[in-house]
C-alpha cells in the first residue's frame, strides 16, 4: 500500500501465477530452465496423445494450420509440427516463449506470447487445448469459449476424476486443478454450454495412483 491507497488488483492474474509456476518449479524440474510437468513428459501420458493427434492430422489430404494454446515447454508439440502446414504455439509466459524460440527452430513453427483469455487468437483450422482450461477459473474459460468458434476443430484434453463428478466447480486460476474438488472441466455442461456439431473421444488414459483419467476429445464446430 502506498499513500494510503491499495494497488488495484489485476482482473486476470493468470500470467503472474504461471510465471511463478515456472520460476519456483512447482510442476517439477529437469535439465531445462522450463518444465511443464509430468503431463507433458510421462511416456504413458504423452505417447498415446501424440499417436492419436498424429493420426488425426494425417487423415487430411491437405495439412492443417494448427494453433496450440498453452504450449508449455513444447515437449509434446515438437512431435506434431511436422504433420501440419503451420504450427502456432501460444503461451502466456514470455520468458518461456523466448526460450522456446531459441531452442525449436522449425520452418513452419511460430511461437506467440499471449493471454488467451484477453487477446485475440491466431487464425487456424484446428486448435489444441491440452490440460490448460483445468487451471483456469470459470470466468476466464467463459472469455475463451467464444474465440473457439473461429476454429473448425477443437481438440480438448482435460484431467478428470474417475466415475461420476460435478463438472465445472469454480477455482482460482493457477497451478492447481479442480480434481481436489472432485470436479473437472466439461465444456458441454453448465455454465459453458459449448455448441458442437460432433463430439468424439480420441483417447482416455487412466491414472491409477490418482484415481483420475486424462481424456482427449475432438469437437467439430459449426
Local structure of residue 2 (DSSP, 8 states)? B
Helix residue ranges per DSSP H, 58-186:
94-103, 138-148
Q: What is the pLDDT at residue 2?
A: 44
Give a yes or no: residue 47 inside a domain.
yes
What pLDDT, on the 0 to 100 scale, is given for residue 13?
Answer: 76
Asked whether 47 and 69 are in contact (CB, 8 A), the reply is no
Residue 8 lies in a domain: no
Q: Residue 12 has what pLDDT?
A: 56
Res 5: pLDDT: 52
Residue 146 resides in a domain: yes
pLDDT at 31: 86
85-119 tens-digit pLDDT: 999 999 999 999 999 999 999 999 999 999 999 99
Q: Print the domain residue range for 19.
A: 14-220
Q: Decide if 194 is inside a domain.
A: yes
CATH of the domain at 130: 3.40.50.150
Is 3 part of any domain?
no
Q: Give the ranges where the chain is alpha helix by DSSP (H).
A: 14-23, 43-57, 94-103, 138-148
Tell me if 137 is assigned to some domain.
yes
Quick: pLDDT tens for 139-153: 999 999 999 999 999
Question: Which residues of the chain are under the pLDDT cut of 70?
Answer: 1-12
Q: Could you tell me if residue 161 is inside a domain?
A: yes
- Residue 5, in any domain of the structure: no
Overall number of domains in the chain: 1
Amino acid at each position: 500500500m502506498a499513500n494510503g491507497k491499495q494497488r488495484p488488483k489485476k482482473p486476470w492474474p493468470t500470467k503472474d501465477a504461471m510465471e511463478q509456476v515456472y520460476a519456483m518449479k512447482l510442476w517439477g524440474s529437469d535439465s531445462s530452465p522450463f518444465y511443464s510437468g509430468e503431463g507433458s513428459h510421462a511416456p504413458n501420458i504423452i505417447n498415446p496423445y501424440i499417436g492419436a493427434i498424429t493420426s488425426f492430422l494425417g487423415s487430411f489430404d491437405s495439412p492443417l494450420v494448427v494453433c496450440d494454446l498453452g504450449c508449455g515447454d513444447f515437449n509434446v508439440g515438437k512431435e506434431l509440427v511436422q504433420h501440419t502446414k503451420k504450427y502456432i504455439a501460444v503461451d502466456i509466459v514470455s520468458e518461456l516463449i523466448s526460450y522456446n524460440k531459441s531452442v525449436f527452430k522449425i520452418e513452419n513453427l511460430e511461437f506467440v506470447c499471449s493471454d488467451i483469455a484477453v487477446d485475440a487468437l491466431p487464425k487456424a483450422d484446428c486448435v489444441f487445448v491440452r490440460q490448460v482450461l483445468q487451471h483456469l477459473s470459470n470466468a476466464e474459460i467463459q472469455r475463451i469459449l467464444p474465440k473457439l468458434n473461429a476454429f473448425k476443430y477443437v481438440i480438448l484434453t482435460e484431467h478428470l476424476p474417475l466415475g461420476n463428478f460435478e463438472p465445472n466447480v469454480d477455482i482460482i486460476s493457477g497451478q492447481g486443478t479442480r480434481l481436489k474438488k472432485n470436479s473437472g472441466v466439461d465444456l458441454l455442461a453448465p455454465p459453458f454450454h459449448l455448441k458442437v456439431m460432433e463430439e468424439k473421444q480420441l483417447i482416455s488414459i487412466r491414472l491409477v495412483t490418482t484415481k483420475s483419467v486424462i481424456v482427449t476429445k475432438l469437437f467439430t464446430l459449426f
